[in-house]
């Protein structure tokens, strides 16, 4: 896989803006008391930096070195620290049971690899920890307001439910939400939101 994200993020401007995803911001209280948080497929760091401003110890994982550099820059601008790790979530190794919580916002992978990535994220969290995600559903193709243009890279709600077996579902939403996040998320969208507690 060529690292096109590294090229996309190699700009001064933040492609998805500097503000956190509204789902993460709205449900951040779910992470209260969970000190160490991993932010997967974190891009330019907007969510990781936001959680760091709330007092969490955050590690941002992403494939794009340019995105991680911007994460550090945004953290400095907000007077916080964010650890960064460059890793390909499809091929790389993720620490096991090292975090109290994990988030992933619009991290999209080929259907044959989605469960692999999901398992890596869940395995990174200790029992009793929480995982929060917002993803584009397959119906997002009709909206054309952001995200992958191929069905292969979008998510089925039923698949996510299947992958959650063994965890406690705290929040599940499938439907329309407006997302105005930089240049690339620009209006009404169809998303899947998930918060689970690992048993």
Which tens digit of pLDDT belongs to each residue from 42-100?
999 999 999 999 999 999 999 999 999 999 999 999 999 999 999 999 999 999 999 99
The pTM is what?
A: 0.95
pLDDT (average), residues 4-22: 85
Tell me the C-alpha distance between 72 and 74, whole Å.
Answer: 6
Number of H helices, E strands in the chain: 6, 7
In whole angstroms, what is the distance from residue 113 CA to residue 117 CA? Answer: 6
pLDDT at residue 11, as a whole number: 82
Give the model confidence (pLDDT) of 24-45 as tens digits: 999 999 999 999 999 999 999 9
> Is 47 in contact with 82 (CB distance < 8 Å)?
no
State residue 1's pLDDT score: 42
**What's the domain count of the chain?**
1
Residue 180: CATH number of its domain: 3.40.50.150
Give yes or no for residue 3 having a pLDDT over 70.
Answer: no
Q: Which residues contact 92 (CB under 8 A, 6 or more apart)?
A: none
For the chain, give the number of residues: 199
Answer whether residue 7 shows pLDDT above 90. no
Indicate the burial class of 106 (C-beta count within 10 angstroms; 0-12, 13-18, 19 or more): buried
Q: What is the pLDDT of residue 134?
A: 98
Q: Coil, strand or helix: which one is 113?
A: helix
Question: How far is 43 from 144, CA to CA, in rounded Å?
Answer: 20
User: Residue 175 is part of which domain span?
Assistant: 4-198
- Let me know: does 102 contact 124? Beta carbons within 8 Å: yes
Q: What CA–CA distance (Å, rounded) separates 162 from 186? A: 30
């Amino acid at each position: 896989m060529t690292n096109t994200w590294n090229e996309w993020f190699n700009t001064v401007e933040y492609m998805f803006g500097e503000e956190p995803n509204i789902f993460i911001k709205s449900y951040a209280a779910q992470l209260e008391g969970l000190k160490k948080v991993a932010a997967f497929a974190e891009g330019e760091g907007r969510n990781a930096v936001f959680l760091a401003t709330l007092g969490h110890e955050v590690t941002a994982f992403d494939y794009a070195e340019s995105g991680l550099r911007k994460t550090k820059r945004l953290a400095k601008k907000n007077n916080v620290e964010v650890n960064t790790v460059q890793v390909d979530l499809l091929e790389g190794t993720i620490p096991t049971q090292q975090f109290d919580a994990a988030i992933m916002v619009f991290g999209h992978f080929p259907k044959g690899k989605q469960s692999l990535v999901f398992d890596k994220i869940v395995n990174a969290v200790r029992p009793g920890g929480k995982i929060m995600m917002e993803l584009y559903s397959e119906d997002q193709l009709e909206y054309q307001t952001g995200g992958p243009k191929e069905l292969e890279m979008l998510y089925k709600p039923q698949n996510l439910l299947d992958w959650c077996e063994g965890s406690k579902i705290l929040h599940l939403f499938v439907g329309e939400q407006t997302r105005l996040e930089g240049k690339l998320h620009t209006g009404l969208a169809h998303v899947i939101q998930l918060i689970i507690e690992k048993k």
